[in-house]
Structure 1
Amino acid sequence: MSPLTAPTPPSPRLLTLLSGAEALSRTRDLRTIFRNAAECAMRFLDGRFGLLFAVRFTPPDLTVGLLGCCVSDGTDTYWEDVCDGNSWLPVDPLLGGSLETDFGHAVSQEGDTWRLAFAIGALGQARWVLEIHTPQAPSEADCEALKLFLRCFDNQHQQWEYANLDTLTRLLNRKTFDDDFERLIAAAELAEQARKAPLERREQIQPFTQPCWLGVVDIDHFKKINDNFGHLFGDEVLLRVADLMRQSFRSNDKLFRFGGEEFVVMLRNVAEDHVHSIFDRFRRAVERFEFPRVGHVACSLGFSRIDPRLSPAELLGRADEALYYSKEHGRNQVNGFDELVMSGKLRIVSPAGQAQIQSDIDEIFL
């Protein structure tokens, strides 16, 4: 009887993928899911540069938008979010070749560098493409192993969507609001610190010096839409409004369906003199859109600046007050809480609010 042979242990490179898949299974933050997947793929293929694209198919065009990039110095790999939500590019032949089969891939050699593209998703349904540049010629076995790993990434992303997205509109759901709100307040604190920093320090952290904002959106007369056309067409209005939100705001802005016909928007790093026009751009997009069967629909908006010294309830309450003012004074308009207070159209009656205004006045004049 021949002795049993011990199983061959996985290679260190395959252990990189196994470790990456295990880390993905424990990841709950969306951007961390993207970063972990890209960095693991880079390490596996000894990549020097990588790009992760979102795929958008708007007949008859197929375009991609850059989500982030990975750079390796040979020792460590670094990920950076670079998406702006507005830059969609034509698909070049390599990326297009990877999209021709389920979880397909394509390879080309450019000088002493190999360029690889991996589609993440089934044929015709891929939502991302990962592009990696490496000095090493890839083997077919390595490509197949990486494709299996990217299926793990796809599965983890689907689980994230199930837990965090509204089932109808595919916007973020209310359950995720608290965690994202905490991050928004943290970003507002950073912006406030940057604003008060010495000039030489402020120049180093310039991207973070603009304030953060919270906006609340409500579809005008939505009950009449449901009563007159039925809930099926009411749901269609919600779907189209959600699509218009995705088109009007940046891809890194946080968009929530808060319940019924109410939506919430979180904006980071937006100058005060631009924020009103950003929200009004969305309002005008809704106003111009021809909704199936229903025709034209309008929405009202209110927004407030994120002041990290206030509680989340107070911040959301300020945006709500500005929204109610919009609805009570004609609807189909945008109003900011601070603007309304400064013009005397709203009054802050809570002790905390009065103390905050006095603190702001003292900061300006003392």
Structure 2
Amino acid sequence: MPSSPATPRASPHLLELLAGAETLSRTRDLRGIFRCAAESAMRFLDGRYGLLFAVRFTPPELTVGLLGCCVSDGTDTYWDDVCDGKSWLPVDPLLADCLLTDFGHAIRQEGDMWRLAFAIGALGQARWVLEIHSPTRPSKNDRQALSVFLRCFENQQQQWEYANLDTLTRLLNRKTFDDDFERLIAAAELAEQALKIPLERREPSHAITQPCWLGVVDIDHFKKINDNYGHLFGDEVLLRIADLMRQSFRNNDKLFRFGGEEFVVMLRNVAEDHVHNIFNRFRIAVEKHDFPRVGRVACSLGFARIDPRLSPAELLGRADEALYYSKNHGRNQVNGFDELIMSGKLRITTPAGQAQIQSDIDEIFL
């Protein structure tokens, strides 16, 4: 009896890529999506290091900004966030080549390594480029398989944006705030714990040693803008404010549209003597910006240090109190809750708040 033809077996690398796609489909964190996609691609192509770029097309210039890098020692693969969001660079010929076709890729040998670039997105609409350096030349089938996998990355990214971003400003939306706030409080607690450890005994996990902060931004007289110029120009002001926030704060700072004309900023690892200047830099950027039709716009800000001993409601309340002080005392200014308390301009009226302030004073002077 003749034997039946052997069933083709999938390569272990392809099975690993399929496993990466399955993991990617269950990943909900944005940095996790980036990391999973880059690490899966690296393992599939036996890459030694890789770079994930965001693409920005501002006619006539096409530029890229580094989001993160991936390094492999041949056994394990490690992802590292870069995400400064400030270093936009012109694309080189290899990156440009892959962006000229629909979900295209380009390959070139450089020394003893093969350099590959994969566009993630349709022709003219690619928002990311993945660059991988490998000691072996991948087959055409492998390159096509990875292009299909990167479509999964794009789909997952789009789902994340739909669930987490404000539809107008593309900042984080209100419903994502609670989870991010809990993580910010946890980071503040780690920072406090790290400060108690002698410098020579600190480990990499103790890297965040400066305080965390919550800032609230409110556009001054926004109702008058809508009443005088219409909601179309009011929306344009919101869009420009969001752009100025992205330009003024670090890429890894959390920026939210909290509702209407109110925005929230979460900062990690910022020294106390720098935080006021950081918020004030944004206020000045708004003050100097020329908004279409409307002209000049101003905003008021209040911020508070994240004390992990307090509840989220109390922490948000402190930042709100500082904001209300700014709005009630001339607008277009920045105030910090602790500064206002220490100067006697604000008073804590709740028993719990008074007890906490007294505890803080005792820690300083006893």
Shared fold per TM-score greater than 0.5: yes
Verify the 8 A CA contact 2:53 2:128 in the aligned structure 1. Answer: yes
Aligned-residue Cα RMSD (Å) equals: 1.6
Deviation at 1:28, TM superposition (A): 0.7
Distance (whole Å) between structure 1 residues aligned to residue 273 and residue 61 of structure 2: 35
Corresponding residue SS for 1:332: coil
Verify the 8 A CA contact 1:195 1:202 in the aligned structure 2. Answer: no
Report the counterpart of residue 264 of structure 2 in structure 1.
264
Report the counterpart of residue 199 of structure 1 in structure 2.
199
Report the counterpart of residue 255 of structure 2 in structure 1.
255
Deviation at 1:57, TM superposition (A): 1.9
Q: Which runs of 5+ in 2 are unaligned?
A: none
| Alignment-mate amino acid for residue 112 of structure 2 | D
Verify the 8 A CA contact 2:48 2:133 in the aligned structure 1. Answer: yes
| Alignment-mate amino acid for residue 121 of structure 1 | G
Deviation at 1:348, TM superposition (A): 1.3
Q: How does 1:218-237 map to 2 (within 5 A)?
A: 218-237=218-237
Corresponding residue SS for 2:210: coil
Work out whether 1:329 is the aligned partner of 2:335.
Answer: no
Distance (whole Å) between structure 1 residues aligned to residue 253 and residue 5 of structure 2: 56
Deviation at 1:285, TM superposition (A): 1.1
Distance (whole Å) between structure 1 residues aligned to residue 162 and residue 7 of structure 2: 38
Deviation at 1:122, TM superposition (A): 1.5
Verify the 8 A CA contact 2:218 2:261 in the aligned structure 1. Answer: yes
| Alignment-mate amino acid for residue 249 of structure 1 | F
Verify the 8 A CA contact 1:304 1:319 in the aligned structure 2. Answer: yes
Deviation at 1:337, TM superposition (A): 0.6
Deviation at 1:306, TM superposition (A): 0.6
| Alignment-mate amino acid for residue 138 of structure 2 | P
| Alignment-mate amino acid for residue 84 of structure 1 | D
Distance (whole Å) between structure 1 residues aligned to residue 101 and residue 71 of structure 2: 28
Report the counterpart of residue 142 of structure 1 in structure 2.
142
Deviations 1:296-325 (A, max 9, x none): 111111001111111000000000000000
Report the counterpart of residue 78 of structure 2 in structure 1.
78
Verify the 8 A CA contact 1:217 1:300 in the aligned structure 2. Answer: yes
Deviations 1:121-178 (A, max 9, x none): 1122211111111101111111110000000000000000001111111111010001
Verify the 8 A CA contact 2:190 2:206 in the aligned structure 1. Answer: no
TM-score with structure 2 setting the length: 0.96
Corresponding residue SS for 1:22: helix
Report the counterpart of residue 52 of structure 1 in structure 2.
52
Deviation at 1:61, TM superposition (A): 2.1
Verify the 8 A CA contact 2:217 2:264 in the aligned structure 1. Answer: yes
Distance (whole Å) between structure 2 residues aligned to residue 116 and residue 204 of structure 1: 32
| Alignment-mate amino acid for residue 95 of structure 1 | L
Verify the 8 A CA contact 2:303 2:323 in the aligned structure 1. Answer: yes
Q: Which runs of 5+ in 1 are unaligned?
A: none
Distance (whole Å) between structure 2 residues aligned to residue 2 and residue 300 of structure 1: 83
Report the counterpart of residue 317 of structure 2 in structure 1.
317
Corresponding residue SS for 1:309: coil
Distance (whole Å) between structure 2 residues aligned to residue 305 and residue 77 of structure 1: 36
Verify the 8 A CA contact 2:48 2:71 in the aligned structure 1. Answer: yes
Deviation at 1:292, TM superposition (A): 1.2
Report the counterpart of residue 304 of structure 2 in structure 1.
304
Provide the identity percentage: 84
Distance (whole Å) between structure 2 residues aligned to residue 314 and residue 82 of structure 1: 33
Deviations 1:171-230 (A, max 9, x none): 110100011011111111111111111131248567411111100000000111111111
Which range moved further: 133-142 or 33-42? 133-142
Deviation at 1:59, TM superposition (A): 2.8
Distance (whole Å) between structure 1 residues aligned to residue 190 and residue 254 of structure 2: 18
Distance (whole Å) between structure 2 residues aligned to residue 6 and residue 348 of structure 1: 78
Verify the 8 A CA contact 2:177 2:256 in the aligned structure 1. Answer: yes
Verify the 8 A CA contact 2:191 2:206 in the aligned structure 1. Answer: no
Report the counterpart of residue 13 of structure 2 in structure 1.
13
Q: How does 1:81-100 map to 2 (within 5 A)?
A: 81-100=81-100
Corresponding residue SS for 1:208: coil
Verify the 8 A CA contact 2:304 2:337 in the aligned structure 1. Answer: yes
| Alignment-mate amino acid for residue 239 of structure 2 | L
